[in-house]
Structure 1
Amino acid sequence: MAIFTAIIAFTGFVVGTGTILGLSAGLSAALIGIGKAILWSVASAVFGPKPPKASPQEVQAMLAQATGPRIRGYGEFLLAGTRALWEAQDGKLYQIIATHHGDVSEIVGWYVDGELVTFDVDGEATTGSAVGYLNVQSILSGDGGDYPDVRAALPTIWTEDHKLTGLATYSVIMTAPAIDQMSNKFPRSDQTSVQMAAKLSEVMDPRTMVVGYTDLTGPCVLDYLTHPDGYRIPLPAIDLDSFDQFTNLCDQDVDLKDGGTEKRYRVGGYYTLEDQPKEVTARLLATADAQIYMTPEGKVAILGGEWLEPDVTITPLDILSFEMSDGVDVFTDFNVLKGIFMSPAHRYQQTDAQEMRDDTALLTQPERVDTFGVDMCPAFGQMRRLMKCHWNARHRDWTGTIKTNLVGMKARFPRGQGKHVIRLVIEDLGIDQAFEVLGHSYSVADRTCDITVASIENPYPWDAETEEGDPPPPLADLVMTNAYVDPPTGLTLGQEVVGLGEGLNAVRLTATVDDPERDDLQLTAEYREISDFLWRPMIVGVGDLRAHSETVQDRQTYNVRARWQGYTDYSISEEISVMSNPVAPDTVTALTSSEAGGTITLSWINGGSGYYRTRIYRSDSATFGSAAVWVTLAGLAGTEQTYDDMPGTGTWYYWAVTINPSLIEATPTGPVSETI
């Protein structure tokens, strides 16, 4: 934090008594403290910014909890939120979702259970399975609770006092269809997920000082630094010229391999109000390979994201001593770099970018992988360019420190554009190249400067044709269409036995269909007990032709049907009876009988493997086919057991039969007989 030492010295700042730029002493001290937290985040650059406290899955889910994460975002992202209301009335389910802290600029799409759905101006669904049964409306600014339809339906529950001021919200009204249509209209019933893809916070463009929507990194960083939910730095303490210049850099067009262009540096993502400000700042800056610093005048400024040749050269005439070492370790440094970015083409999920590989090193080295994630980067091409910067930053020819005379003070402050670089000439090592300044301190008494440096090559030249690589294939949005598609054919049912331990099993249903030889069709399947009216969804992987259920009841009969997602016609349902323990258990052994005083006593040893119960069959003839189950007894596998019976006069025949948990019988043991 040497730069802040100099800032204090040059501005005459003393904590408790001094000021910066005429600000109050308390605010000046706070500003210095903020600067210390966010300047030269070398550790963040090396290890990557920390993720937000709430995962993307959490902020994209409709949470049924009292207080979910408070979310604010920049650029375009997919959000759900926390249910502020969840109430059923007269065949309708009313929900209000608090989705964003502060205003939202514009909605770009709605997803219902992951399917892109459109709505008319009144909020009625016009595509998707729930047409006629789903209404979604939104309030993007002001009082987020002001929904007349909800208040009219629930006047004592959702009153005028439920304002949700300062929150962007949306309401979801689900109308219950006929019972036999519920699984068609709302496959997840009352847990149907409705998500909003939107352009989020509007921010001030430092070039025009006008507030509006932009996803350029520069204005988004500026907004967070000054926002009440961010660093709260007053605007007079910001070097707006720096942000003006940096925004122009972000706004430059970069060629794409497949034609067209994209802006150089953009943001798409969110943060929670519980996240540490320095971590949020690091995540935003990572989208542009940028840094925050403080100018000699004590203002907060931004630099990075481009290359300018060094304007300071330090030669042997100025260097008093140096310590240099190789910056590359062929035994530990990574030779494969994986990247992760936020992809709108993949429903705004964290998505793998094509990896970068050092094919030359891999000829003689084992594969060593590093993963670099920029969760707020919204574009594949941008992510690949940032991966190149990260690779460059982690592979340095030289690292070390130099001690100089006071000429080294020239290296203390960055020029305010590009990376903070100087040129070093160290003839003893054959060095004459650019180095990045990573740290700087000085001694007035000794008239020396100590500078931490690492060699750097320009990481920004970019040839899209050879360097961009191939983006991950986009997910096909499976939307409702009027074109007819035959339902799945070849529906074949089966069962999978799931071991529960101690000889007990459970079972789940499986269903497979014929390959339609169309990659755009996604299988869905449902099952129900034969006596039930409620169909339940089965689990199907993306692109799979096989589905499976949760574990089901043993010894029950089920119907299963299948369809293609987005189409209403089902296959002919098939029927299956399930059995979780189909293997017959061990037989009873050592069956004997005795009679005394009209009581017949049976004795035997229970079956071992597969034992659940022992059935005693009784008959007045020696034919097992004429016998009936007289009693079913619990016991322990492989142990001796007895049973007393008083059947009355006559000759009585007995058999003992082991059954397993699915009531499968072993071979009968017997008969033994007694006459009373």
Structure 2
Amino acid sequence: MSFHHRMMLQRYGLGCTTSLYSEVLFDPIFTPIFTAVLGTGAFNIGVASISYASIASAIATTAISIGLQALLAQAPKPPKPEDGRAPLNQAIPFRIYAVGRTRVAGARMMWEAKGSNLYSVQAIAGHRIKSFNRFYLNDDEVTVVDNVVTPLTTGGRYGAGSANVRLYTRLGANPETPYAELVSALGADGIWTNDHRGDGQASLAMRAHNADAQDQQTAFPYGAPSPSVEIDGAYCWDFRDPAQSPTDPSTWTWTRNSAVILAWHLCFNEFGFGLDYQKALLPVIDLWKEEADICDEDVPLAGGGTEKRYQCNGWDTTENGPKSGLNAILATCDGHLVARGDGARILTVGKFRESRTATLTDADIVGHNVQYGVLFEDECNRLVPKFTYPATNYTSCDTDFFEDTDAQIAAGRVLTMEGSYEWCHQWRQARRLGKRDWLRQRQEVKGSLDVRLSGINAVYARWVRLDTPKRLPKLDGKLIENRRSIVALTKGGFTMDFIEHPEGIDDWNPATEEGQQPPVPPAVNVSNIPTPVINLIQAKANGGSVYIRVVIIDPEDGSFTPVVRYRVADADGLGTPGAWVEQQNPSAEPSGGYIDLSTGNVPADKVLDIQVAFIASNRRYSNWSVTETVTSTSDPTPPAALTSFTPTGSAPRLGNAAFAFSTGNDAHVRSVDLYRVAAGIAFDPDAETPIASLAVGPSASYSYTYGDATRANLLTDGDFSVSPGPWTLETGWSIGSGVASKAAGNNTLIRQPAAIGAGKKGRLAYTITAFSAGSCISRLTNGTNHYEGTARNATGTFLETTTVVAATTIFGIRGSATFVGSIDNVYLYEETAACAPQGTWDFYAVPINGSGIAGPTSGPITLTII
């Protein structure tokens, strides 16, 4: 039976079901594509041309493995956060990767006792990391100064008598530096030598020295110390930063942005999916930038200040495969990831936008299975969001749950499900994610649609609007969410699992929905001083300076003096943090279960690390709290728009463009950035580098020239106002009515003297005002050497740059024997290094305040630079 015949029979069968097609209709979409699989061809999906063969074999959407779905589907999961407290002990351990900020112990590479010393080395991550932040021995957080564990907060542990512990770290450079102390002690035995560098592997080494017999129990009450660390993990390519190159990891930055981390995991993580970024990211890079920006949006907090919408922190091992990490990352941003047929990956994070919505009509659907209610076995009347809580030394923790008490009474019991967001470390973020899953779980309209190939764009969209007055009249005009789509040839093309999009899923009122901060059990050190728990951090501008407001949970002990300390996270521009600066708050009083603290003036417009501790009456310190990060923005108010932004001068613009602009009566404006982008290209200031940053003040006017203003036209009478003037007219050429014209018959020049130096570039422009046949071409010559441009055979203005090897003395335009046309407005000059790039450009101006916050954009001004 032929393929054509089988398709016809399938059509007849569908005609007897819920299909809208008649028995004799042959599908014009389905048939051509899949009969062409054996041949060649392509059609467009979005902006990309996809081959039929790739459609048949590769088109699908990746399941949204987030929260409840990941839990219910038994998707692979990363290790529990508690697993990061103790190192793995395996003969051949699995490799580890880490993103964001997390606690991890890694895997033991060496454990050796020699004399009174115990030596160990742990592989922390199989890639370069940013920093080691905090150190733990067993469950005690310890302070390390010059590699030595100091017993400041451990009551003598790890430092009693002659005992001491040293910790050494390596960030994973390639090549890496050997541990000199271990090599000195163990190298002669071949246990650990200079060849044990661990290139590209972040690692932690320890040397623990025994105490005297009477002090051993005090120094090491838990036996041999087991180190673990809090680290800032992998560097990632932030595709929004033009200074970063995907092929040069040295330009990458550390980040917690969920979208940026996901791109790294898909394409650059050695233990990820290994996709080609040129296929997976670049064709849709603007979509990825949009998602990364949404992840970085500031969400207001109930007590003041903001936090980023979606952040990601976690670690995993290669035992689980890359999908484990993928699920965890998607869970942190309510992410929806699509694998397009051409290899591109499209991410949509949890924030509804009409631009990510497609439409399905009656004609696009061949079958459906809709459920207008929730089966008892699927019912959930309580959702408990779970996340990893740094304040409890990186353990799993619950936030306030979401519940429906009426549904619980009707069901006669509490039906609980957990939302698992293990790579989310912010309790408020876990609440926001939990609300989204809770509202979806409560939706009663769910099901699946069998979609024809004509509805392929909907398969790739996260949200779909139904235009189905005949097939699904109850859902006509409704918005549904595409939860998962797969190729299903026997069902017409694709099967799409969907759920009705909940109303108000993006609404968030911090005052009523944020909930309470999860309780933190008292984590006392040996001096019985609890560790402070930070509720929120906020930078407060104050007359051009900045102080930091820190709110902590009241320890209900008035004898403690809270102390805040801060440091600049990147003091030298190379990622090295500055020194800690402490400030005590002895007069701070509790109110409503919290204590409101503040620092003095801090460095303005810097990223700061913040920690809090308690000081007891005996002057002993508690452990320092979890490190929080804040930007000390001195001026959060964006400047007003420029009152004017105009070009000055007139064409021709030989190697330069000049502008004038004025600022308004606005005290916030401090500078204006000027940008240049190719004409007609969308402008994104975050992805462009300014051509100039000009210091400005309010209510003032400024001018700026971009490029070399000294250039002048080397040609006389380039507008052909006289005949023959300076021009030499060869056979067929004539000047009249302000143009130079040529008749057919001879291959000849119109020329005049013009010198371009040896090794220099001549820039030129000319306009063909009329054209009938043949072609013309520019020429620079010294009589022996000829340097020609591009042959032109149409009307228009043409820009060219010609490099000459030997100095030239003559410029001309040569018309072919068949050329019939007219030329006007000819310009030529010698290019310098200061010249602005040749071309037609859009120019923009953006006012900036003292904290680097941008105001409204002015432009575009479109100018042509010759």
Normalised by the length of structure 1, the TM-score is 0.62
Mapped partners of 2:264, 2:197: distance in 1? 26
Of 133, 142, 145, which residue of structure 1 is paired with 2:164? 133
Asked whether the 8 Å contact 2:127–2:172 carries over to 1, the reply is: yes
What SS class does the counterpart of residue 460 from structure 2 fall into?
coil
| 1:301 matched to 2:346 | yes
- For residue 388 of structure 1, what is the aligned residue in structure 2? 435
Q: Could you list the per-position Cα deviations for residues 60-108 of structure 1 after superposition, in whole angstroms to 9, with x for gaps in the alignment? A: 3134443333211111111112222222223221111112111121112
- For residue 463 of structure 2, what is the aligned residue in structure 1? 420
- For residue 283 of structure 1, what is the aligned residue in structure 2? 328
Q: Could you list the per-position Cα deviations for residues 402-448 of structure 1 after superposition, in whole angstroms to 9, with x for gaps in the alignment? A: 5678764552332xxxx332244547437542112346689999999
Report matched runs for 1:223-238 at 5 Å: 223-227=264-268, 228-237=270-279, 238=281
- For residue 611 of structure 1, what is the aligned residue in structure 2? none
- For residue 262 of structure 2, what is the aligned residue in structure 1? 221
Mapped partners of 1:40, 1:482: distance in 2? 46
- For residue 146 of structure 1, what is the aligned residue in structure 2? 178
Asked whether the 8 Å contact 1:476–1:520 carries over to 2, the reply is: no
Which one-letter code corresponds to 2:187 in the other structure?
A: P
Of 206, 214, 227, which residue of structure 2 is paired with 1:194? 227
Report matched runs for 1:447-596 at 5 Å: 452-458=497-503, 459-479=505-525
- For residue 579 of structure 2, what is the aligned residue in structure 1? none
Deviation at 1:155, TM superposition (A): 2.2
Q: Could you list the per-position Cα deviations for residues 341-375 of structure 1 after superposition, in whole angstroms to 9, with x for gaps in the alignment? A: 11111111111222211123223222111122121
| 1:352 matched to 2:380 | no
Mapped partners of 1:49, 1:144: distance in 2? 39
Of 80, 86, 92, which residue of structure 1 is paired with 2:111? 86
Which one-letter code corresponds to 2:164 in the other structure?
A: Y
Name structure 1 gaps, 5 residues minimum: 22-27, 484-516, 522-565, 569-676
Asked whether the 8 Å contact 1:74–1:200 carries over to 2, the reply is: yes
What SS class does the counterpart of residue 280 from structure 1 fall into?
helix
Deviation at 1:254, TM superposition (A): 1.2
Mapped partners of 2:444, 2:383: distance in 1? 18
Shift of the 102–30 alpha-carbon distance from structure 1 to 2, 3 Å rule, reads farther
- For residue 599 of structure 2, what is the aligned residue in structure 1? none
Which one-letter code corresponds to 2:465 in the other structure?
A: I
| 1:261 matched to 2:261 | no
Asked whether the 8 Å contact 2:149–2:167 carries over to 1, the reply is: yes
Asked whether the 8 Å contact 1:48–1:372 carries over to 2, the reply is: no
Asked whether the 8 Å contact 2:60–2:486 carries over to 1, the reply is: no
- For residue 200 of structure 2, what is the aligned residue in structure 1? 166
Asked whether the 8 Å contact 1:35–1:300 carries over to 2, the reply is: no
Asked whether the 8 Å contact 1:59–1:69 carries over to 2, the reply is: no
Which one-letter code corresponds to 1:214 in the other structure?
A: T
Mapped partners of 2:485, 2:115: distance in 1? 70
Mapped partners of 2:63, 2:109: distance in 1? 39
Deviation at 1:29, TM superposition (A): 9.7
Shift of the 236–162 alpha-carbon distance from structure 1 to 2, 3 Å rule, reads same
- For residue 419 of structure 2, what is the aligned residue in structure 1? 372
- For residue 572 of structure 1, what is the aligned residue in structure 2? none
Which one-letter code corresponds to 2:210 in the other structure?
A: A
- For residue 324 of structure 1, what is the aligned residue in structure 2? 370
Which one-letter code corresponds to 1:220 in the other structure?
A: I
- For residue 155 of structure 1, what is the aligned residue in structure 2? 187
Shift of the 460–482 alpha-carbon distance from structure 1 to 2, 3 Å rule, reads closer
Q: Could you list the per-position Cα deviations for residues 512-547 of structure 1 after superposition, in whole angstroms to 9, with x for gaps in the alignment? A: xxxxx98999xxxxxxxxxxxxxxxxxxxxxxxxxx
Which one-letter code corresponds to 2:401 in the other structure?
A: E
Q: Could you list the per-position Cα deviations for residues 589-610 of structure 1 after superposition, in whole angstroms to 9, with x for gaps in the alignment? A: xxxxxxxxxxxxxxxxxxxxxx
Shift of the 93–475 alpha-carbon distance from structure 1 to 2, 3 Å rule, reads same
- For residue 75 of structure 1, what is the aligned residue in structure 2? 100
Deviation at 1:240, TM superposition (A): 2.1
Which is further off, 396-405 or 356-365? 396-405
Deviation at 1:282, TM superposition (A): 1.6
Which one-letter code corresponds to 2:181 in the other structure?
A: D
Mapped partners of 2:128, 2:302: distance in 1? 36
Asked whether the 8 Å contact 1:221–1:284 carries over to 2, the reply is: yes
Q: Could you list the per-position Cα deviations for residues 197-256 of structure 1 after superposition, in whole angstroms to 9, with x for gaps in the alignment? A: 111111111111351100110111101101232111011012322221111011011122
Shift of the 215–520 alpha-carbon distance from structure 1 to 2, 3 Å rule, reads farther
- For residue 334 of structure 1, what is the aligned residue in structure 2? 380
What SS class does the counterpart of residue 438 from structure 2 fall into?
helix
Deviation at 1:168, TM superposition (A): 0.9
Deviation at 1:55, TM superposition (A): 4.2
Shift of the 354–321 alpha-carbon distance from structure 1 to 2, 3 Å rule, reads same
Report matched runs for 1:102-121 at 5 Å: 102-121=127-146
Normalised by the length of structure 2, the TM-score is 0.49
Mapped partners of 1:266, 1:420: distance in 2? 23
Query: Alignment RMSD, CA only?
Result: 4.2
Q: Could you list the per-position Cα deviations for residues 282-315 of structure 1 after superposition, in whole angstroms to 9, with x for gaps in the alignment? A: 2211111112113465412211311124754456
Which one-letter code corresponds to 2:194 in the other structure?
A: E
Shift of the 278–259 alpha-carbon distance from structure 1 to 2, 3 Å rule, reads same
Asked whether the 8 Å contact 2:400–2:518 carries over to 1, the reply is: yes
Deviation at 1:272, TM superposition (A): 0.9
- Amino-acid identity (%): 22
Which one-letter code corresponds to 1:204 in the other structure?
A: W
Shift of the 322–104 alpha-carbon distance from structure 1 to 2, 3 Å rule, reads closer
Shift of the 121–389 alpha-carbon distance from structure 1 to 2, 3 Å rule, reads same
- For residue 648 of structure 2, what is the aligned residue in structure 1? none
Deviation at 1:39, TM superposition (A): 5.2
- For residue 579 of structure 1, what is the aligned residue in structure 2? none
What SS class does the counterpart of residue 205 from structure 1 fall into?
coil
Asked whether the 8 Å contact 2:172–2:198 carries over to 1, the reply is: no
Asked whether the 8 Å contact 1:125–1:136 carries over to 2, the reply is: no
- For residue 236 of structure 2, what is the aligned residue in structure 1? 203
Report the count of equivalent residues: 474
Asked whether the 8 Å contact 2:81–2:422 carries over to 1, the reply is: no
Name structure 2 gaps, 5 residues minimum: 1-28, 46-51, 245-250, 530-555, 561-618, 622-866
Report matched runs for 1:27-66 at 5 Å: 38=62, 44-45=69-70, 47=72, 50-52=75-77, 54-66=79-91
Asked whether the 8 Å contact 1:76–1:269 carries over to 2, the reply is: yes
Deviation at 1:482, TM superposition (A): 11
Shift of the 123–264 alpha-carbon distance from structure 1 to 2, 3 Å rule, reads same
Shift of the 456–520 alpha-carbon distance from structure 1 to 2, 3 Å rule, reads farther
- For residue 625 of structure 1, what is the aligned residue in structure 2? none
Asked whether the 8 Å contact 1:425–1:433 carries over to 2, the reply is: no
Mapped partners of 1:436, 1:100: distance in 2? 37
Deviation at 1:147, TM superposition (A): 0.7
What SS class does the counterpart of residue 333 from structure 2 fall into?
coil
Q: Could you list the per-position Cα deviations for residues 464-505 of structure 1 after superposition, in whole angstroms to 9, with x for gaps in the alignment? A: 21112112112444335599xxxxxxxxxxxxxxxxxxxxxx
Mapped partners of 2:478, 2:41: distance in 1? 43
- For residue 797 of structure 2, what is the aligned residue in structure 1? none
Mapped partners of 2:490, 2:517: distance in 1? 56
Which is further off, 461-470 or 394-403? 394-403
Mapped partners of 1:19, 1:318: distance in 2? 17
Deviation at 1:377, TM superposition (A): 1.3
| 1:96 matched to 2:121 | yes
Mapped partners of 1:451, 1:482: distance in 2? 58
Shift of the 387–34 alpha-carbon distance from structure 1 to 2, 3 Å rule, reads farther
| 1:245 matched to 2:290 | yes
Mapped partners of 1:288, 1:245: distance in 2? 13
- For residue 271 of structure 1, what is the aligned residue in structure 2? 316
Which one-letter code corresponds to 1:246 in the other structure?
A: E
Deviation at 1:150, TM superposition (A): 1.1
